[in-house]
Amino acid sequence: MRLTGSTVSARDFPTNRGGLCQKGWTSAELLSTPARLTSPLLRRDGRLHPVSWDTALDFVANTLRDLRASSGADSVAVFGGGGLTNEKAYLLGKFARVALGTAQIDYNGRFCMSSAAAAGTRAFGLDRGMPFPVTDLAASDAILLVGANPAETMPPFTQHLAGARLIVVDPRRTATAERADLHLRPRPGTDVALALGILHAVVADGHLAKDYVDERTSGFDAAWRVAAAWWPERVERVTGVPANDQHRAADMLAQAGSAHVLTGRGTEQHATGTDSVSAWINLALALGLPGRPGSGYGCLTGQGNGQGGREHGQKADQLPGYRKITDPAAREHVAGVWGVPAESLPGPGRSAYELLDSLGDGPKALLVFGSNILVSAPRSAHVADRLSTLDLLVVADFVLSETAAAADVVFPVTQWAEEAGTMTNLEGRVLLREPAVTPPDGVRGDLELLRELAIRLGQPAERFPADPEVVFDELRRAAAGGPADYSGVTYQRLRAGEALHWPVPGTDHPGSPRVFLDRFAHPDGRARFAAVDHTGPAEPADAEFPLLATTGRVLQHYQSGAQTRLVAELTEAEPEVFVQVHPDTAARAGLADGGYATVSSRRGRTRAKVRCDATMRLDTVFLPFHFPGAQRANLITNPALDPHSRMPEFKVCAVRLAAA
């Protein structure tokens, strides 16, 4: 796999040093899978039939035009994905705002890194997931890894953790926690309390980085007023983490010459996800880590373009360059690049789950690019019900995902090795991927699909280029002067092997690998503590639903499984959904290892194979969300939303177990 231009070989690439996980080295199998879509499909008499591109394009464009005329521009909605290239994410946002004129666009990154993004912006004034190169971690003395299981979710990344003393915060004893020097095992949904307890220990034990706090931050006093009430013994009662371990964690971090705090989805995918991340950032600030050479806070990335996918306008409240769609100057600038009046741009739309929840009553058509929402969105029976009320569901994909199988029209598109485009990695570095193989007959790129639809909707052809480099050059102009300024990034510089981390405000600018060394991005240059308090999960366990279910990933499968479930080697290793449970908890529910359980919540139930594991907490069960149909973990999840990020509470809901 070629990750950058020709001068840097994949093996020397610093982020993964040529390493790939099992999904990586089997991913080539997908390029030639028999399940690959090679013709557009159109639903007639209840079934999907192959049709020509023109037939499918005309049908979609005519239906959208009619809907817009009868029900207004917001009757059409768009759902994107963090796996799309920057060029696709950018053109999709432009397509929605200009060709459709709809405010209703959001994407699966809302389910992914939105809480870390919101908390990063709140603390530092800028959301660049990892504001330092990932190779800095190799020299770190201590790393606090919160709610992330990179041994399974980013195996190549774990090499960067090898040199440090590792503290892992995870309710489960994961493969990552196995390697830790200290494993803290909180009850799911109690991270804010735990972070407050460790912050309390830092201050009480005399480890506060007082000079740093005075010189580089604001808001410590208000944050401390909250943390002062969370002494470690009290935190132990709420989280189950021994007070002594909280002091040990504080000590390990404070004694380290350089240290990092890193968060993943485990602490972020909560209705209090933004506050959770803020609480961990508070801890990092109290220790004086962010913006100090060799130390820092960062969030681990999700999808291939988790960072870039959240910068260029497929988010409901966003314009390219990480601009706000409500900011008049941003609207003026971007409208100028697009050649349309600023007043014609819609305002902010609904967040991902709110958008799906509104389908039928609100939007009557939905276009999906790069997400398998029938499997991956929370409360999935309700989402399926909403999708079924649509007049038109359109899905662009290269395989017949569960969502594509439910669509009225499916467009077969090219995949990663067949097309050019840029992705921005977890450290804000822009990478160019060039085509390595020729696409099969019958498929077209997402950019071409958007262009064809836009033209049929009356747009001038030159406004929707399909050449990735031309799209990128336009993106550069749209992003110029914004927080995520790409104006100095060119395909030429990337091909020459330059390591460009945004912002890159000019073609002679070297890029910004470490963004907070001198100042943070708030106007006063200071990082802000957030005075966040513990409230707990939106749905606590009770007599009826006495256990807490959390969901996440296994090594072999990727996301909704739309791609990895097609690879024999991966499905043989993990063929079906399981529920990981302590043997005593299983026995109490009358379940035996290897049997089947019904896992029920207030929203639905799923049938899962029982996997007993004596390292589990007695009050917690875990299910992976990679499986379809009746095996969907999302049949039980709680769509309670974070007030800041609009992230659903994927990581905790109340359930009960019964024999199936």
Question: Site residues (CB under 5 A) for Mo ion?
Answer: 112, 302
The nearer residue to ligand MGD, 89 or 201, going by C-beta atoms, is 89
Which residue stretch of 216-224, 338-346, 549-557, 577-585 sits at the interface with ligand MGD (rule: CB under 6 A)?
Answer: 549-557
Binding flags for ligand MGD, 318-357, as an x/- string (CB under 6 A) = ----------------------------------------
Q: Which residues partner with 167 through β-bridges?
A: 144, 182
Q: How many residues bind ligand MGD (CB under 6 A)?
A: 64
Query: What are the contacts of 37-41 at 24+ separation with CB within 8 A?
Result: 37/397, 37/398, 37/399, 37/400, 37/404, 37/410, 37/412, 37/443, 38/412, 38/440, 38/441, 38/442, 38/443, 39/412, 39/442, 40/409, 40/410, 40/411, 40/412, 41/407, 41/409, 41/410
Which residue stretch of 126-134, 238-246, 459-467, 547-555 sits at the interface with ligand MGD (rule: CB under 6 A)?
Answer: 547-555
> Distance between CA 268 and CA 50 in Å, rounded?
41
The nearer residue to Mo ion, 302 or 624, going by C-beta atoms, is 302
DSSP state of 156: G
Place of tokens 């299981």: 149
Site for ligand MGD contains 555 (CB under 6 A): yes
By Cβ distance, which residue is nearest to Mo ion? 302
Q: How far is the CB of 396 from ligand MGD (least distance, A)?
A: 4
Binding flags for ligand MGD, 8-47, as an x/- string (CB under 6 A) = ---------------x------------------------
Q: How far is the CB of 402 from Mo ion (least distance, A)?
A: 18
> Distance between CA 158 and CA 105 in Å, rounded?
35
Give the one entry of ligand MGD, Mo ion, none that residue 172 binds, where binding means its C-beta sits below a cut-off of 5 to 8 angstroms depending on kind.
Answer: ligand MGD
- Quick one: which of 5, 83, 465, 482 contacts ligand MGD (CB under 6 A)? 83
Q: Which residues partner with 409 through β-bridges?
A: 42, 394
Quick one: tokens of 221? 């006093």
Give the one entry of ligand MGD, Mo ion, none that residue 146 binds, where binding means its C-beta sits below a cut-off of 5 to 8 angstroms depending on kind.
Answer: ligand MGD
Site for ligand MGD contains 80 (CB under 6 A): no
Handedness of CA 647, 648, 651, 654 (dihedral sign): positive
Q: How far is the CB of 80 from ligand MGD (least distance, A)?
A: 9
- Indicate left, alpha or beta for 576 from its phi (over 0: left) and psi (-120 to 50: alpha): beta
The nearer residue to ligand MGD, 149 or 512, going by C-beta atoms, is 149
Site for ligand MGD contains 371 (CB under 6 A): yes
Site for ligand MGD contains 372 (CB under 6 A): yes
Q: How far is the CB of 28 from ligand MGD (least distance, A)?
A: 15
Q: What is the DSSP pairing of strand 547-552 with strand 604-612?
A: unpaired
As a dihedral over the C-alpha atoms of residue 572, residue 576, residue 579, residue 584, rounded to 10 degrees, the angle is: -60
CA 69 to each of CA 66, 97, 367, 453: distance values in angstroms, whole numbers, following the listed order: 5, 16, 18, 16
Q: Tell which positions 397-456 bind ligand MGD, by CB under 6 A.
A: 397-399, 401, 413, 446
Place of tokens 């994909």: 397
Within 10 angstroms of residue 439's Cβ, the number of other Cβ atoms is 20
Strands of 8-119 (E only): list them.
41-44, 47-50, 76-80, 105-107
Contact set with ligand MGD (CB under 6 A): 23, 81-84, 108, 111-112, 146-150, 152-154, 169-172, 174, 186, 188-189, 191, 264-267, 269, 302-303, 369-372, 375-376, 396-399, 401, 413, 446, 550-553, 555, 557-560, 562-563, 622, 625, 633-634, 637, 650-652
